[in-house]
Structure 1
Amino acid sequence: MAQPSTVRVGRNSAKAVWRKSSHSSENGDCVELAELGDVVGVRDSKDHRGPVVTVGRQTMTTFVAALTSGHLAAGRR
C-alpha cells in the first residue's frame, strides 16, 4: 500500500484562488479549496486568515472519490 502524502498546516497564501463547493449550504459549515501547484489547500470558509491544511493532489483526488462513492459517509461505522 502506498504511503499517504505529507499533510502540512500553514498560513493562507495571498496568491491562492479559493473556491467553495456549489453544494455548500448557507449555514457556514464549509471548507474552501485552492490549487497550489502540486498540493491542494483546504481552509475553513469562515476564517480566511486561519490555518491552511495542504495535501498532495493525488491524495485529495482519492479522498474526494471515496466521499462521492459513499465509502466515507457520515455516521458510517
Structure 2
Amino acid sequence: MCLDELHWRKASHSTNNGACIEAASIAATIAVRDSKIATGHDYPTLTIPTPAWSAFLTNIAAGRFDL
C-alpha cells in the first residue's frame, strides 16, 4: 500500500504552523510521520504496533512524560 493513500490525521492539539505529526492506521500498526515533510514517496515514516501505540497514548494522558 502506498503511504500517500492512507487516511492521515493530525494531532488534535496541532496548530497550523507545520510543526506536527500525523498518524494513520495500517492493519495492526500505526504509521507516524512529520507533517512538514509528508510529501513524495521518500519521506520517513515510523511504524509502531497498535498495542505499543495505545500504551504510549495512555502514558501521555497520565502525564508520565510531562517535564
Shift of 1:29: 1.5
Q: Partners in 2 of 1:13 and 1:21 — Cα distance? A: 18
Structure 1: which 5+ residue stretches go unaligned? 1-11
Report 1 or 2 for greater relative contact order, CA contacts < 8 Å, sequence distance ≥ 6: 1
Q: Which runs of 4+ in 1 moved over 4 A?
A: none
Q: Quick check: 1:21 aligned with 2:11?
A: yes
Q: Which residue of 2 aligns with 1:35?
A: 25
Q: 2:44 aligns with which of 45, 48, 51?
A: 51
Q: Partners in 2 of 1:17 and 1:32 — Cα distance? A: 10
Equivalenced residue count is 63
* Structure showing the higher strand proportion among its residues: 1
Which of 1 and 2 has greater Rg?
Answer: 1
Structure 2: which 5+ residue stretches go unaligned? none
Percentage of pairs with the same residue: 32
- Residue identity in the other structure for 1:16: L
CA RMSD of aligned residues (A): 1.4
Q: Which residue of 2 aligns with 1:9?
A: none
